[in-house]
Amino acid sequence: MRTHTHGFTLIELMVVISIIGLLASVIISSLNVARQKGRDGAIKQQIGQLRTLIELNYSEYGTYSQIQPYIWFQNPIDCSNSITTGNYANQAQLICLNLFKLNGNSPNNWLGPSYFLFLGNNVSNSNKYSISTFLPGKGKFYCLGSGGISSDTTGSSDTWINPGCMNNP
């Protein structure tokens, strides 16, 4: 006597395929979040490198006066405006270009899709500065001050007073 083994029913196959599809969509969405966090981390690292260049410049000249005060970098062409007039101007320009590459055309809620980097000397104290940029993954701005303090901010009025930002470097 011959025994027939039956295959899977159509319902069973549809259930398995739908479970695989659900798992795939969860994995893809978590990969996108990880990619955004990675990009934000790379932006923060570039800002840290820019701070290091500024500090190297300070160690050579004893002042931050080589930093161009209150520069708004709105597109990559602005990177040709020297961030610093010291020995590290070329490296600072490359970092600026990398920041634009990492940010792409990410829109933000403050000045439109082109605002990414702010570098400024606090007018009342030329021994301090702040670097601010937009983090597309978080949808917030990141500030890093001359004291090494940093914070994420929404881009509203607290942008200027948060630790590491322009009025609190």
Q: Which residues contact 89 (CB under 8 A, 6 or more apart)?
A: 82, 83
Q: Across the strands, what pairs with 132?
A: 118, 143
Query: Which residue ranges make up each domain of the chain?
Result: 35-160
Q: What is the pLDDT of residue 30?
A: 84
pLDDT score at 96:
81
Distance CA 4, CA 143 (A): 70
Q: What is the pLDDT of residue 58?
A: 81
Q: In the prediction, which pLDDT does 121 show?
A: 53
pLDDT profile of the chain (169 residues), mean per 10: 73 92 89 87 88 84 70 70 71 82 59 47 63 81 83 70 73
What is the per-residue pLDDT for 14? 93
Cβ within 8 Å of residue 2, ≥6 positions away: none
Beta strands in 4-99 (DSSP E): 71-73
For the whole prediction, is pTM greater than 0.75?
Answer: no
